Amino acid sequence: MNSNLYRKVMVATDGSEPVKKAVDTAVEFAKLSGAKLYAVYVVAAEHMTGHPKDIGWERAMKEQLSAEGKEATAFVEKAGKAANVEVESVLLEGNPANEIVDFAEKNDIDLIVMGTLGRTGIQKFLLGSVAQNVVRHSRKAVMVVRGFEAE
């Protein structure tokens, strides 16, 4: 079943276990629609800000987060290859929700697939939600896949 409705699908990944269900969903969706899949990982800039004298720490943190991003997108590439889906990996830097929305707009993405940790109540309030912000601000279709049930 190839569809012209969805030609470019994006999966936002952080490499976590709950997000792997979203990756599986995105790969299957891309396979069924004949779409190209973009595996996007955002190196969160807020995790890299420190004291101006701590440039070495900032560089080390960016390298660590970039390595995690490469591992996360490699997982998507492997899943895509197994399903005969073309995957392009993309590492971005900045605020995750903003970068995901901007990438989708600039690259004419038809569908954004994201995972959620299923947090509720005070956890959601304190930690915020990248998926929630993407849903709120994106003009593209967004599919949110729950990784596991909230406790």
Q: CATH number, domain at 93?
A: 3.40.50.620
Note whether residue 128 is domain-resident: yes
Residue written as tokens 């949110």?
144
pLDDT in tens, 18-66: 889 999 999 999 999 999 999 999 998 765 555 556 667 777 888 888 9
Residue written as tokens 């470019």?
8
**Hey, what amino acid is at 134?**
V
For the residues 72-96, what does the mean pLDDT come to?
Answer: 96
Kindly report the number of other CB atoms within 10 A of residue 69's CB atom: 23
Query: What's the residue count for the chain?
Result: 151
Note whether residue 35 is domain-resident: yes
Note whether residue 1 is domain-resident: no
Note whether residue 25 is domain-resident: yes
pLDDT band (50, 70, 90) for residue 150: very low
Note whether residue 2 is domain-resident: no
Domain count, the chain: 1
User: For residue 92, which of 111, 70, 74 has the smallest C-alpha distance?
Assistant: 70
Q: Which domain holds residue 87?
A: 8-146
* Global pTM value: 0.85
Note whether residue 94 is domain-resident: yes
Note whether residue 96 is domain-resident: yes
